[in-house]
Amino acid sequence: MLISDLFKHMAVIEEKKENISKKETAVKKAVKKVPMQAAPNADIACKVLVEPWITEKSHAAIAENKYVFRVTRMATKPEVKKAIEGFYKVSVEKIAMTNLLPKKRAYGRFEGTKSSIKKAVVTLKKGDKIELFQGA
């Protein structure tokens, strides 16, 4: 009696496994794989933009629709404008660039310098936002 009950339970478990596997294959077929597409100017953005520059001051400037980015040393205003417009799908109104000079730092008895960087302050047209900065 015990062995027959065991076989019945095993048969029920096998049926459940088959039903689950059929459902999984149906779900996999239903989900279409959409290839990931890069933004039209993604190659320029990768060469020009380094990272968003998030500080208290730059975060407060978001209220004025200004966003701050660290850019490469050789970047120009037209390149930065093209990169941001293509990558974030916004329209840029104005760009201000600044070079931050290297700062001296001392680590114990050793002296060194922090590397110099270039920043771009980008003013967007009214109504445009970059979602990356929201909630930061």
pLDDT tens for the 136 residues of the chain, in order: 555 655 555 555 666 666 666 656 655 555 555 555 556 667 777 888 999 998 999 989 999 999 999 999 999 999 999 999 888 889 999 999 999 999 999 999 999 999 999 999 999 999 998 887 565 4
Question: What's residue 73's pLDDT?
Answer: 93
* 27 and 49 part of one domain: no
Q: Which helix (H) or strand (E) holds 50?
A: strand 49-52
What secondary structure does DSSP assign to 67-124, as a single string? EEEEE-TT--HHHHHHHHHHHH---EEEEEEEEEPP-EEEETTEEEEPPPEEEEEEEE
* 46 and 65 part of one domain: yes
Question: What's residue 34's pLDDT?
Answer: 54
* 8 and 56 part of one domain: no
Model pTM? 0.65
* 60 and 125 part of one domain: yes
* 29 and 46 part of one domain: no
Query: What three-state secondary structure class fits 52?
Result: strand
Question: What's residue 18's pLDDT?
Answer: 65
Q: What is the CATH number of the domain that holds 105?
A: 3.30.70.330
Q: Residue 12's domain spans which residues?
A: 1-33
Question: What's residue 133's pLDDT?
Answer: 59
Question: What's residue 132's pLDDT?
Answer: 72
Domains held by the chain: number: 2
* 50 and 27 part of one domain: no
* 46 and 29 part of one domain: no
